[in-house]
Amino acid sequence: MNLKLIDTHTHMYLDQFNEDIDSCIKRALENKVVLSALPNIDSSTISALKKLMNNYPDQTLGMMGLHPCSVKENYQSELEIIYQELKTGNYHAVGEIGIDLYWDKTFVKDQIFAFKEQIEWAKDLDLPIVIHARESLQEIFSVLDEVADKRLRGVFHCFIGTAADAIKALSYQGFYLGIGGVYTFKNSGLSEALAQAPLERMVLETDAPYLTPAPHRGKRNETAYTLHVAEKLAQDKGLPLEKVSEITTANACDLFKINV
């Protein structure tokens, strides 16, 4: 089977992979995942992310951003560190950025400020943004309604929303929906919510080591499992797996402005 998949969102540089990263990369390739995009979290993860990029330059692609859950009292200094690293030109996206109202709402105003700041970086550097939106889609939409223009493009990482939310997300030109493990969950409702969303506006992801897709729920997620997400999409869309691979990989290449 002639498949070529891209995992557009995986944290394979985290400690959960310290013991078997070589095997994880090998399994990813065996499962037709030719490229893994690595979103940053904060200043503490830059070194590990860069190490993985350096060790596997042909299999990884880096992003640089400040995760909303890392927006605390010191977020201004964090932003400065992130920006200096981003300016090295070694990265293909600004991410993962956004708003998270699930864990802690203490710094929501600061999260919004940091989100807007990083959006401006993306515009200036002609990079896509990778949006983290946990229980915050409406707040994300409010920001995008204010700042989106023809220079802005990106992906709604781990899209979880209604059919109306999907329509709204795709109303922003140049944006894709990131489809990951939650999509394979029986009771997620995403199959129905995304029934009318075009495959031409979707990319695949894992968010490894989190949100492991069926049939591996309860275990550590890894990039190789991108294949399960693709299989579920093929089933729901009534398309051959090869077609889902072809379209979603082309979408990822468009998003990151790369060729594979």
Predicted pLDDT at 104 = 84
Q: Is the pTM of this model over 0.85?
A: yes
**Over residues 195-213, mean pLDDT:** 98
Q: Answer yes or no: is pLDDT of 140 > 80.
A: yes
**How far is Cα 98 from Cα 12, in angstroms, rounded to an integer?**
20
Phi-psi region of 32 (alpha: psi -120 to 50; beta: other; left: phi over 0): left
Give the H or E element holding residue 35.
strand 33-38
Average pLDDT on 4-27 reads 98
Judged against a pLDDT cut of 80, whether residue 192 lies above it is answered with yes
* Average pLDDT rounded to a whole number, residues 62-84: 98
Q: Name the phi and psi angles at 130, rounded to 5.
A: -115, 110
Mean pLDDT of 2-7: 96
Give dist(CA 107, CA 121) in Å, integer.
Answer: 21
Alpha-carbon distance of 86 to 84, in angstroms, equals: 5
Whole-number pLDDT of residue 96: 98
Count, in order, helices (H) and strands (E) of the chain.
Answer: 9, 8
Compute the average pLDDT of residues 144-148: 97
Q: Which of 60-69, 100-109, 120-129, 214-223 has the lowest mean pLDDT?
A: 100-109
Give the sheet arrangement for strand 5-7, strand by strand.
Answer: 5-7, 33-38, 60-62
Q: What is the mean pLDDT of residues 148-152?
A: 96
Does pLDDT of 93 surpass 80? yes
HEC string of 179-200 equals ECHHHHCCCCCHHHHCCCCCHH
Domains and CATH numbers, the chain: 5-256 (3.20.20.140)
Q: Are 83 and 121 in contact (CB under 8 A)?
A: yes
Provide the token pair at 41: 């979290």
CB within 8 Å of 144: residues ≥ 6 apart: 152, 172
Where residue 40 falls among pLDDT bands split at 50, 70, 90? very high
| Residue 1: band (very low, low, confident or very high) from pLDDT cuts 50, 70, 90 | confident
Q: What is the pLDDT of residue 2?
A: 86
Residue with tokens 């893994």: 36
The whole-angstrom separation of Cα 80 and Cα 63 is 16
Residue 168 has pLDDT above 80, yes or no: yes
